Amino acid sequence: MKAIHFVEPEKIKVVDIPMPEMKDDEVIAKVSWAGICGTDLDLLTGNMIHIKTGMTKYPIIPGHEWSGTIVKVGPAVKNFKVGDRVTADVSLGCGKCEFCRKGKYNLCPDREVIGSYRNRQGAYAEYIAAPERHLYHIPDGVSDEEAAMVEPAGTAAYAVRRARIEMGSSVMVIGDGPIGQIAAQLAKVNGAAKVIMAGSWDEKLEIAKQTGTDEVINYHREDIAERAIELTGGKGPDIVIESSGNQSAFQSAIKAVRPSGRVVLISWYADAEVPAPLNGIIVKDLDIVCCLASPNTFDAVLNYMGSGQLNVKPLITHKVPMEQCEDMIRMIRAKKECRIKILLQP
């Protein structure tokens, strides 16, 4: 099969390699679409934490957002068959440890992560192997392109779940990328009366308004905290979901959120040593909630998509052949063209 290798920092190569091996409890799926994520770009630079700790080594086949069709099933697989359209969790737990038994397989000490951790093969390839316990059927009403968005949607859904949104509350999302966009939609689905999005692209903020966001803030022209407080009658949002991974955005979240509010963090930060305004956090009696990956969210997200409560179609701004991966990464880094989610097709 053909696949994309990140050979070393900043070096990408299209390679011909054998199809993945399959364990008895796994399936092999032909990849329909794979999404480019900021984590993949961190892998390419060599700055990702898993590269630095040695838990991921070059060469690596990246890509953890995908949809596909099963072409082969292992003898122990019971609930899936050839021809089924599927997607899979990004964090693959052992299924036996204390964390896995509690459903926290994103924290399994022996986990693999598709497209990165322990070099589990990713989706930038024609075929991918995945264990049955982490597979999900794609409903008939959800397209392959939409299903390739389930992982970022699941990450957003996990953050919204951890945010514990109360009926009628106000929520601000910082970050106008795919996870921020989806978090804003799901905040509304889960009871928020007012949703505000802060971002940097007018085009992306307009898409957010079209998909249900009530108010938007372009932080190039307005101060995030000041404007958010103004938009909530001087109180500040009840909850701030920070999806950008920007240090200044974290500071803005603390300033903006109302006393006794909640700040939810769902992104990697380029510099792990992010200064925290601890006195401001303490004085406001805040909850700081951190989220890793997307455990136990895919079924819900697929149902939201199938029912029309979650609309990811406007977020898919580019669909290109997988061989154009390097061109798309250059485009992302140039920051001249508006994009939200880029899908690659093998």
Q: Are 256 and 224 in contact (CB under 8 A)?
A: yes
Burial of 180 (0-12, 13-18, 19+ CB in 10 A): buried
d(CA 1, CA 89): 22
> 2-149+312-345 maps to which CATH number?
3.90.180.10
Q: What is the pLDDT of residues 32-57, one digit of tens each?
A: 999 999 999 999 999 898 999 999 99
Q: What is the pLDDT of residues 103-161, one digit of tens each?
A: 999 999 999 999 999 999 999 999 999 999 999 999 999 999 999 999 999 999 999 99
CA–chain centroid gap for 50, Å, is 17
**Token pair of 250, please?**
């974290």
Can you list the alpha helix ranges (DSSP code H) found in the chain?
Answer: 38-45, 49-53, 98-101, 144-147, 150-163, 178-189, 202-210, 224-231, 247-256, 278-283, 298-307, 325-334
Which residues lie across from 287 on neighbouring strands?
262
Q: What is the mean pLDDT of each run of 10 residues along the chain (346 residues)?
A: 98 97 97 97 93 95 98 98 98 97 97 97 98 98 98 98 98 98 98 98 98 98 98 98 95 98 92 85 97 97 98 98 97 96 98
Taking residue 196's Cβ as centre, other Cβ atoms within 10 Å add up to 26
- pLDDT on residue 273: 79
- pLDDT on residue 56: 97
Question: Which residues fall within 8 angstroms of residue 209, CB to CB, at 6 or more apart?
Answer: 216
Helices and strands: H and E segment counts in the chain: 12, 17
Which residue's entry shows tokens 């992010």?
A: 274
- pLDDT on residue 94: 96
- pTM to 2 decimal places: 0.96
Question: Which residues fall within 8 angstroms of residue 124, CB to CB, at 6 or more apart?
Answer: 3, 4, 34, 61, 62, 63, 115, 322, 325, 344
> 154-290 maps to which CATH number?
3.40.50.720
Query: What is the residue extent of each domain of the chain?
Result: 2-149+312-345, 154-290
Q: Are 266 and 156 in contact (CB under 8 A)?
A: yes
- pLDDT on residue 316: 98
